[in-house]
């Protein structure tokens, strides 16, 4: 009690002392520059973004007290590479050195926090941080996440791992922010991970109700408020420099009115915080493209306030975010800790739940994740190639350029108005174009890495072949299958072929189990399922021999020819009696029962525990209001249903294709019972168990939806007999699971109980858990007991002038084909499986057809070839990254700064010998009796399949800090927890031994011994 009294006295004294002092105001000049949204990047660069950095650089150089923060690196890098003169670059270097131009966040973009994947958040931060450190020797230490639509608990963990000392958020639920303001709880120490706890805690500042902009409605001026440069003009900036809505200049006649308004706003904000320091963001969207007008008006205004500070009770100064956080840190207060709760979902008012964007632009979300997966595969393969064949024929500069292009495109789309689907159609097309073009370049790289001979002494992957004339032989094709994961896998891949019969052989000439059947999406093609067994980071070649005619005996190899059985279309109006005629589909893990009276799934029995769960899946739709005068509307951002969901179909057809590799169930849903074409479909693949992997737990589903009818939002509803009390669990960015309890609100309860699902969601009761893992982000909810509904697609239009003016109505007429994998079983069993399943769905084997079907070739030499050695991690560790970034900076910070300050030519060749390695522990503390334990591995042994590790340096998450020199700020908390961030590595051979604890992400620079041939 005595200690508590001392703390209370300390806090009271500090608060009283703070009230006696003038309010210290940190005016932070900034420009919120969306990397996309309404205008393309090229349009924004031309209209205003380039001018921001040119004019800011020039204006900061004129007065030593001026400041500016640069946030999104994509625009800055484009300006640096294509616009900035040598004089500008010299000025920028000096401003950065003096701390007057501060890089905040430092990533390529201000990434979204709800629908982004962990891999891509880290990538875009790493891309920006690498550029900043290489170019300026600086490492961002503070965030400025002012515009993402809600705040994830994963983000503060990643920022802490990157070396940040302060985190800043803004968009959280309006009613929660009101409460936090009244109780002065907008600042806290956030422990985003329940496993890492205080080890990666970070001080967090929540912006008040004014967010990142200054008041814009002033009684004596126009609506631009403190933005004297007016409003940016598209497509071209005005030649005379006069922009629309330029505020009245600060003169002797207006300065008092401006000062009165600014001081009143400062004091209003000060009342919501515990210290007498006020962060006053001066800027908003698309500002400071004419910085001279801005500073030439703010300078005299601030001078006037400071001259009258005793009267006003306020002082003002230009500042960076770092200067503000430093003042807060020096206040030495005791802060409340916040656990791993996030700030999702996000609402701005009772009928404005920003939960629609979780499912907006499903195609873009899917392409972005596919591109990310392709990039991961190419990074790992190129790393192996460079270590093994440093002088191989794949040109290293060409290869790195291909990788950099896709890194840029994947990073770019993580913007909070990018992957969210909240951008205009032309911007969505821009993202897709950049992703597809860069992915095509990486596909060229993948082919080159595998097909070209690695050196003159070794044959190519295809070997030396010749065509044997005069002998009639069937057509054949080769495919390469690459496993981009550091686990051994046995799985089934699907190759689309044009022949009805095929036999498959591995690179030793042995027949491979396979199955062929008519395609679900085309009458002209066939699905060829092949069972592949691959070591970690291994690829293998398979030969497919085709025939137009049915084969028999040995010619078929081990390929099963599967044929389907069709069931009569069932209309929902005839569902008088159901459950009378059940049809089983079985594998070693499950028995699925399908109801022939409805053509729907009826139940699933988990065979190892003989536990049956009633499960039905079908499509429902919410109808949205398009007339703003008639009530709340749904749009790109907002979900506001015009009532409960209704069935999206009137009839269902079913076809079952029994197989020896996989049994496929195809369900087609018709809007009207007499429709010829189906509107929706579910294709469920029930695999047989092969090899050592428990892959039969996985029920693979793909869906087809669209084009939708206007103003409909379609969900896949999985209804079960589980008693979950409408509580579900969804992932934060694929990093950790969050409990989502159903809550009742005065208004808009339905939409406010939707949550983002990036990789996984599940419901459970005391006995069982039903899990869905996803290949892209969706919105998910449990609107009734035992239900798990996933919003898969949206098509909307409304007459809100703002939406119409910017073309943000989401009239998305595309056909989407997302994939979900379903698992059912006990909590203990599914806990072991679902995270790995989610990663295997994200990083499926890469299939590369390396020639078109043609007349048979015969090998001069035997097919047998030694596959590359595997790289295998324990099942609870995941190879998050294995890449060659190419940065040329020294790992020694002092050496790097010395080089930057030398004044010599700073251009240098990329470093192709430094490998970036990240390993992540998948499990939470206590999640599994064995898999949740810390894991100790010797990285020299783990990586010996790639080469001989000669040097290992542990780094911060984005690679810019030597972890031994990283000393993050410590913050006093009410529970007085002492943080221990020490990591022990011993000398000698044990220097390569590391222990990775639950939910840790460890980052290393690896140097391999050079090879010569």
DSSP of 407-427:
HHHHHHTTBTTTTTS-S-HHH
pLDDT for residue 3 is more than 70: no
CB of 324 within 8 A of CB of 207? no
Tell me: pLDDT of 459 over 70. Answer: no
pLDDT, mean over the chain: 91
* Cα separation values, 293 from 15, 289, 597, Å: 38, 9, 73
Instruction: Answer yes or no: 147 catalytic.
Output: yes
pLDDT tens column, 181-197 = 999 999 999 999 999 98
Residue 130's pLDDT is: 97
Q: Residue 856 pLDDT > 90, yes or no?
A: no
Q: Quick check: bond before 235 cis, omega within 30? A: yes
Measured CA to CA, the distance from residue 819 to residue 792 in angstroms comes to 10
- Find out whether 624 and 796 touch, Cβ atoms under 8 Å: yes
CA distance 174 to 537: 47
Q: Is the pLDDT of residue 650 over 90?
A: yes
DSSP string, 517-570: EE-SS-TT-EEEEEEEEE-TT-EEEEEEEEESS---GGGGTEEEE---EEEEEE
**Contacts of residue 366, Cβ cutoff 8 Å, sequence gap at least 6:** 775, 776, 816, 817, 818
Per-residue pLDDT tens over the stretch 738-771: 999 999 999 999 999 999 999 999 999 999 999 9
Which of 1-5, 286-290, 324-328, 628-632 has the least mean pLDDT?
Answer: 1-5
CA atoms within 13 A on the CB side of 244: 8
Measured CA to CA, the distance from residue 21 to residue 310 in angstroms comes to 10
pLDDT at residue 2, as a whole number: 36
3-class DSSP state of 142: strand
- Kindly indicate the confidence band of residue 363, based on its pLDDT and cuts at 50, 70 and 90: very high
Phi-psi category of residue 976: left, alpha or beta, with phi > 0 → left and psi -120 to 50 → alpha: left
Q: Where are the beta strands (DSSP E) in 100-243?
A: 101-103, 166-169, 187-190, 202-206
Share above pLDDT 90 across residues of the chain, in percent, rounded to a whole number: 83
- Asked whether the predicted pLDDT for residue 168 surpasses 80, the reply is yes
Alpha-carbon distance 547 to 541, whole Å? Answer: 20
Query: Is the pLDDT score of 534 beyond 50?
Result: yes
Residue 653 scores a pLDDT above 80: yes
| Confidence check: pLDDT of 900 > 70 | yes
Whether residue 115 is predicted with pLDDT greater than 80 in this model: the reply is yes
Contacts 24+ apart (CB under 8 A), 910-913: 910/396, 910/397, 910/400, 910/886, 911/885, 911/886, 911/887, 912/386, 912/390, 912/396, 912/400, 912/884, 912/886, 913/1007, 913/1008, 913/1010
Average the pLDDT over 793-812 and give the result: 93
For residues 133 and 141, the answer to whether their CB atoms sit within 8 Å is no
Establish whether the linkage from the previous residue to 109 is cis, with ω within 30° of 0. no
Q: Phi and psi (nearest 5°) for 198?
A: -70, -15
**Helix, strand, or coil here: 199?**
helix
Hey, which residues does 1007 pair with through a beta bridge?
914, 951
Q: Which residues are within 8 A (CB) of 161 and not within 5 positions of it... i.e. 6 or more apart?
A: 200, 956, 957, 1001, 1003
| Percentage of the chain exceeding pLDDT 70 | 91
User: What's the predicted TM-score (pTM) here?
Assistant: 0.94
Side-chain-side CA neighbours of residue 804 (13 Å): 8
Give the pLDDT confidence of 964-1011 residue by residue, as tens digits: 999 999 999 988 765 555 554 545 567 899 999 999 999 999 999 987
List 112, 147, 198, 775, catalytic entry: 147
Would you give the distance in Å from CA 1005 to the centre of its chain?
A: 23
Q: Give DSSP secondary structure letters for 776-819.
A: S-EEEE--STTEEEEEEEEE-----HHHHHHT-S------B--E
Reported as a pLDDT band with limits 50, 70 and 90, residue 8 is very low
Q: What is the pLDDT of residue 1011?
A: 72
d(CA 1, CA 658): 71
> CA-to-CA distance for 325 and 202, rounded, in angstroms?
12
């Amino acid at each position: 009690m005595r200690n508590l009294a001392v703390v209370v006295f300390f806090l009271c004294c500090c608060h009283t002392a703070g009230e006696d002092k003038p309010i210290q105001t940190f005016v932070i000049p900034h420009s919120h520059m969306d990397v996309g949204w309404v205008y393309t990047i090229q349009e924004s660069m031309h209209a205003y973004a380039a001018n921001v950095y040119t004019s800011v650089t020039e204006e900061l150089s004129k007065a030593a007290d001026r400041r500016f923060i640069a946030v999104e690196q994509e625009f800055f890098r484009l300006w640096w590479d294509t616009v900035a003169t040598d004089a500008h670059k010299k000025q920028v270097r000096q401003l950065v050195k003096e701390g007057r131009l501060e890089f905040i966040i430092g990533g390529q973009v201000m990434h979204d926090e709800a629908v982004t994947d962990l891999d891509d958040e880290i990538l875009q931060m790493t891309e920006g941080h690498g550029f900043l450190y290489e170019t300026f020797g600086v490492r961002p230490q503070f965030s400025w996440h002012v515009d993402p639509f809600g705040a994830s608990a994963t983000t503060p963990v990643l920022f802490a791992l990157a070396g940040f000392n302060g985190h800043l958020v803004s968009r959280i639920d309006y009613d929660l922010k009101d409460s936090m303001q009244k109780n002065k709880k907008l600042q806290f120490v956030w422990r985003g991970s329940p496993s890492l706890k205080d080890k990666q805690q970070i001080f967090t500042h929540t912006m008040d109700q004014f967010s990142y902009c200054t008041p814009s409605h002033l009684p004596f001026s126009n609506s631009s408020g403190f933005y004297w440069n007016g409003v940016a003009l598209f497509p071209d900036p005005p030649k005379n420099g006069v922009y629309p809505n330029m505020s009245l200049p600060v003169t002797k006649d207006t300065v008092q009115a401006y000062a009165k308004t600014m001081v009143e706003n400062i004091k209003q904000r000060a009342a919501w915080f515990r210290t007498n320091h006020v962060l006053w963001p001066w800027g908003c969207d698309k500002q400071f493209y004419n910085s001279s007008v801005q500073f030439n008006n703010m300078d005299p205004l601030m001078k006037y306030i400071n001259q009258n500070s005793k009267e006003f009770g306020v002082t003002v100064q230009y500042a960076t975010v770092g200067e503000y956080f430093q003042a807060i840190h020096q206040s030495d207060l005791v802060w409340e800790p916040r656990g791993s709760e996030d700030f999702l979902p996000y609402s701005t008012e009772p009928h404005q739940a920003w939960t629609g964007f979780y499912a907006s632009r499903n195609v873009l979300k899917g392409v972005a994740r596919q591109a990310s997966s392709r990039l991961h595969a190419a990074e790992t393969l190129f790393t192996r190639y460079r270590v093994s064949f440093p002088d191989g024929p794949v040109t290293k500069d060409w290869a790195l350029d291909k990788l950099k292009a896709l890194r840029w495109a994947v990073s770019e789309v993580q913007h909070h108005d990018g992957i969210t689907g909240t951008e205009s159609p032309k911007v969505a097309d821009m993202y897709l174009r950049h992703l597809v073009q860069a992915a095509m370049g990486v596909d060229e790289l993948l082919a080159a890495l595998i097909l070209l001979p690695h050196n003159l002494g070794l044959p190519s992957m295809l070997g030396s072949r010749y065509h044997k004339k005069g002998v009639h032989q069937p057509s054949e094709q080769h495919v390469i299958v690459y496993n981009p994961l550091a686990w051994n896998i046995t799985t089934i891949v699907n190759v689309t072929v044009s022949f009805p019969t095929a036999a498959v052989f591995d690179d030793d000439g042995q027949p491979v189990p396979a199955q062929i059947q008519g395609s679900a999406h085309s009458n002209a093609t066939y699905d060829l399922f092949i069972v592949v067994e691959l070591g970690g980071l291994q690829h293998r070649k398979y030969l497919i021999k085709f025939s137009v005619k049915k084969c028999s005996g040995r010619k078929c190899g081990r390929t099963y020819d599967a044929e389907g059985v069709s069931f009569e279309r069932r209309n929902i109006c005839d569902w008088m009696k159901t459950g009378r005629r059940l049809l089983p589909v079985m594998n070693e893990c499950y028995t699925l029962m399908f109801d022939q009276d409805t053509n729907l799934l009826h139940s699933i029995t988990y065979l190892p525990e003989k536990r049956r769960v009633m499960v039905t899946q079908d499509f429902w739709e919410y109808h949205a209001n398009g007339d703003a005068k008639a009530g709340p509307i749904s749009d790109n951002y907002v979900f506001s249903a015009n009532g409960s969901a209704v069935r999206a179909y009137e009839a269902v057809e079913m076809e079952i294709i029994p197989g020896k590799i996989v049994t496929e169930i195809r369900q087609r849903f018709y809007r009207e019972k007499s429709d010829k074409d189906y509107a929706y479909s579910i294709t469920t693949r029930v695999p047989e168990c092969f090899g050592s992997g428990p892959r039969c737990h996985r029920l693979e589903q793909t869906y087809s939806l669209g084009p939708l009818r206007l103003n409909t939002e379609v969900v896949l509803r999985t209804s079960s007999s589980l008693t979950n009390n409408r509580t579900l669990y969804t992932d934060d960015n694929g990093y950790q699971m969050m409990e989502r309890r159903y809550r009742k609100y005065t208004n808009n309860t339905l939409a406010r109980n939707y949550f983002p699902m990036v990789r996984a969601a599940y419901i459970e009761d005391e006995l069982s858990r039903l899990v869905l893992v996803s290949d892209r982000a969706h919105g998910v909810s449990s609107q009734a007991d035992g239900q798990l509904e996933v919003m898969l697609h949206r098509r909307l239009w409304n007459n809100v002038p703002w939406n119409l003016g910017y073309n943000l109505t989401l009239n998305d007429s595309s056909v989407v084909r997302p994939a979900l994998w379903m698992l059912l079983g006990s909590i203990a069993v599914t806990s072991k499986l679902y995270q790995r399943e989610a990663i295997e769905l994200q990083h499926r084997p890469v299939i590369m057809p390396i020639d078109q079907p043609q007349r048979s070739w015969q090998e001069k030499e035997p097919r047998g070839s030694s596959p590359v050695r595997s790289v295998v991690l324990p099942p609870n560790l995941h190879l998050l990254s294995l890449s060659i970034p190419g940065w040329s900076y020294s790992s020694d910070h002092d050496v790097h700064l010395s080089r930057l300050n030398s004044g010599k030519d700073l251009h240098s060749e990329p470093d192709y010998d430094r490998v970036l390695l990240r390993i992540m522990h998948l499990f939470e503390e206590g999640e599994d009796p064995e898999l949740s334990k810390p894991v100790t591995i010797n990285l020299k042994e783990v990586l010996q399949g790639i080469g001989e590790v000669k040097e290992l340096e542990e780094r911060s998450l984005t690679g810019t800090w030597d972890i031994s020199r990283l000393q993050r700020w410590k913050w006093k908390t009410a529970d007085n927890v002492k943080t221990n961030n020490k990591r022990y590595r011993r000398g000698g051979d044990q220097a390569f031994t590391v222990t990775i604890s639950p939910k840790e992400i460890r980052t290393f620079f690896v140097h391999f011994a050079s090879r010569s041939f």
